[in-house]
Structure 1
Amino acid sequence: MPAFDYDQLSLEELEQIEKEVKKAIASFHSRKRKEAIAKMNDVAKELGFSSATDVFGTEPSKKKFRSDVVPFYRNPENHNQVCGKRGRKPAWFNELKKRGFTDDQLKIENQK
């Protein structure tokens, strides 16, 4: 792999390269998956099945992931620290609660 000096590029150029690399990686995985399915179908046919689907069942559905956490609470002392409503609360949230802050005071909408 050729050496490349990324320090000489602008942020826009680096972001464009990142976008192109992500696209290339996704394309690579897609090609490899298609190759694997074709090989599995060939083996399944050799064993007397019509396709790999007969052996393994239907293709798995895409898992549904939760969307990104929407910030709901913010540390009034450090606005870079935020958290959502669901799940375990971070240490800074619990520490502020121990110091007497209420949930309403920590809500982003109630802070100036």
Structure 2
Amino acid sequence: MNLDLESMSREDLLALRKDVERAIETVDDRRRAEARAAAEKAARDHGYSLEDVVGSAKKAPSGKKNPPKYRNPEDARQTWSGRGRKPGWIKDALASGRSLDDFAI
């Protein structure tokens, strides 16, 4: 596509700029839709739906969050479930000789 910008009126150039900005804003959405359509076709060609191949796009959060077992007495916002890496305030307290029982909720 070769546009002769020099021969276009100001109104035509402004309309073109608006169209270009709209196209730029939607390019990712359009490409994503094209990719999804291609993936759906490939799945259909093999006798499956896209959801059969990749599962549901939206999964409900499990809602299972481990409740805190320990709380920092100096900052009640800092808690730890006892699982995973120990937070710095727990490491520091243990290094200074305190027990985990001192922080139990």
TM-score band (shorter)?
0.3 to 0.5
TM-score normalised to structure 2 length: 0.47
Rg: which structure is higher? 2
